[in-house]
Amino acid sequence: MNFELTEEQLAVQAAAREFAQKELKPGVIERDKHMTYPTEQIKMMGELGFLGMMVSPDYGGGGMDSVSYVLAIEEISKIDNSCSVIMSVNNSLVCWGLETYGNESQKAKYLPKLASGEWIGAFCLSEPEAGSDATSQRTTAIDMGDHYLINGTKNWITNGSSSKLHLVVAQSDVDKGHKGINVFIVEADSDGVTVGGKEDKLGIRSSDTHTIMYTDVKVPKENRIGVDGFGFKFAMKVLGGGRIGIAAQALGIAGGAYELATAYSKERAAFGKPISQHQAIAFKLADMATDIEAAKLLVYRAAWLKDMGMDYTMASSMAKVFASEAAMKHTVEAVQVHGGYGFVKEYHVERLMRDAKITQIYEGTSEIQRIVISREIIKNNNLYVPIFSSELSKV
Ligand code: CAA
């Protein structure tokens, strides 16, 4: 294996860990309880460069690689998953999508604001009747000559009320199916944009998830990203990278729960010794550690493939499905290790358990990841081995 973290990557990891412990941990229980948006914390994340990590310095970003980005998400997710989903959507769906597929004037106009956190972005794909089945878009974008007219409803939108820019996926020509879908940059204060109430969720409770309605919203022609009909491919490409971010979030959730369970089990005594020395608990820690190490390899490898400019479609889905299932399983176990204390908010593990669930759902459910993985297997009849070698990464 020829992979080790660089000094720069290790420094990013340490900075994110310190920030999460110092600035996110105090108040995280209260914000979760009252669904309070982390305004101050997101402002700090913008100032520290966590909101535009991979954006080129030419547009005010950090110019970092995807591996640094996942290390940062992982550390932040050990503590506050409302902050990490806001960060993930802004970085990997909105900024990356705009920088990779936008034209020069779109990038120059919007990226500096998004990379600094002055503006937050939202990715508006899901609809009441188009979740997993993303080609069934009902939102329409009709070509009116010098502008498009957008009508429709998007739901489950992360950053729904805090965002100033929406990337809206909409159908421009129903006869063309997914080839008639476009994606547009819509400024949130445009006439006809209405944001519904904040969803009261099981987890990631302080992030702002909303339904957004678009009624006769006029969008200038220059705000379409890519050529006519590129919108569905854009969504798929962007989600491929976004899923690496969510996989890193799930890895962080599992890692956070493991750290808490390990520390607690060494302190808590029962039947005359620390519970970590009872096999029933020690084996839970062993299983957690093993799955977390496996998830780490999958997540870092997916990010590394992206950095190498290699195909990461299957790797990102594998990382997401494995890490999110590990997060769900082991947060439940971490609560169990804590016994009654695990069931109360003060000990943090019940929140991580609630947060874990959404990682199996958003940016493609576990079932969708399995569709993507199995289609890639059938299409290419291959697997990646060994893990971090550019010469032999696919055989
Ligand atoms: N890259 C490039 N193109 C791709 C692609 C990829 N990874 N995956 C599919 N496509 C292309 C196909 O090649 C095809 O194009 P052609 O006809 O030109 O060949 C086109 O897209 C349609 O593909 P499929 O026929 O495979 O489409 P499908 O209807 O079978 O659906 C799917 C494919 C993978 C299931 C897709 O619908 C999907 O990913 N669904 C899940 C959507 C999702 O993840 N939603 C999350 C919402 S966003 C969110 O959660 C954000 C948030 O706020 C946190």
pLDDT, tens only, 277-308: 999 999 999 999 999 999 999 999 999 999 99
Q: Which residue's alpha carbon is at the smallest distance from atom 47 of ligand 1?
A: 363
111-130 burial code (b ≥16 CB/10 A, e <16): bbbbbbbebbbbbbbbbeeb
* Residue 370, ligand 1, Cβ within 6 A: no
- Catalytic residue of the set 363, 367, 376, 391: 363
Q: Which two tokens stand for residue 364?
A: 């493609």
Instruction: Indicate if the alpha-carbon torsion angle 284, 287, 291, 294 is positive or negative.
Output: positive
Nearest to 121 by CA among 187, 61, 181: 187
Q: Which residue's alpha carbon is at the smallest distance from atom 3 of ligand 1?
A: 233
Whether cis (ω within 30° of 0) applies to the bond prior to 386 is: yes
The confidence score (pLDDT) of residue 391 equals 55
Residues 339 and 260: beta-carbon distance below 8 Å: no
Half-sphere exposure of 244 (CA within 13 A, CB side): 34
Nearest to 288 by CA among 315, 316, 319, 251: 251
- Give residue 232 CA to ligand 1 midpoint distance, Å: 7
Q: Which two tokens stand for residue 248?
A: 């890193």
Distance CA 310, CA 153 (A): 35
The confidence score (pLDDT) of residue 384 equals 65
The confidence score (pLDDT) of residue 270 equals 97
Residue ranges, the chain, pLDDT below 70: 1-3, 382, 384-395
The confidence score (pLDDT) of residue 2 equals 52
The confidence score (pLDDT) of residue 395 equals 39
Distance CA 221, CA 110 (A): 16
Residues 91 and 51: beta-carbon distance below 8 Å: yes
Q: Which two tokens stand for residue 49?
A: 């460069």
The confidence score (pLDDT) of residue 98 equals 98
220-250 burial code (b ≥16 CB/10 A, e <16): eeebbbbeebbbbbbbebbbbbbbbbbbbbb
* Residue 134, ligand 1, Cβ within 6 A: yes
Residues 248 and 81: beta-carbon distance below 8 Å: no
Q: Which residue's alpha carbon is at the smallest distance from atom 18 of ligand 1?
A: 179
- Give residue 97 CA to ligand 1 midpoint distance, Å: 15
Distance CA 37, CA 142 (A): 35
Instruction: Indicate if the alpha-carbon torsion angle 239, 244, 250, 253 is positive or negative.
Output: negative
Tens of pLDDT, residue by residue over 211-244, are: 999 999 999 999 999 999 999 999 999 999 999 9
The confidence score (pLDDT) of residue 380 equals 79
Is residue 92 helix, strand or coil?
helix
Interacting residues of 27 by C-beta distance below 8 A, sequence separation 6+: none
Instruction: Indicate if the alpha-carbon torsion angle 143, 149, 154, 159 is positive or negative.
Output: positive
* Residue 236, ligand 1, Cβ within 6 A: yes
Residue spans of beta strands (DSSP E) within 316-355: none
Distance CA 80, CA 20 (A): 8
Distance CA 211, CA 261 (A): 36
* Residue 126, ligand 1, Cβ within 6 A: yes
Query: Is 363 known to be catalytic?
Result: yes
Nearest to 207 by CA among 359, 58, 335, 344: 359
Interacting residues of 127 by C-beta distance below 8 A, sequence separation 6+: 136, 137, 138, 139, 152, 153, 154, 155
Q: Which residue's alpha carbon is at the smallest distance from atom 53 of ligand 1?
A: 158
* Residue 178, ligand 1, Cβ within 6 A: yes
Half-sphere exposure of 122 (CA within 13 A, CB side): 27
The confidence score (pLDDT) of residue 385 equals 55
Is residue 53 helix, strand or coil?
coil
* Residue 361, ligand 1, Cβ within 6 A: no
Choose one of 82, 163, 208, 233 to mutate for the ligand 1 pocket test, by most ligand atoms within 8 angstroms of C-beta: 233
Residues 72 and 16: beta-carbon distance below 8 Å: yes
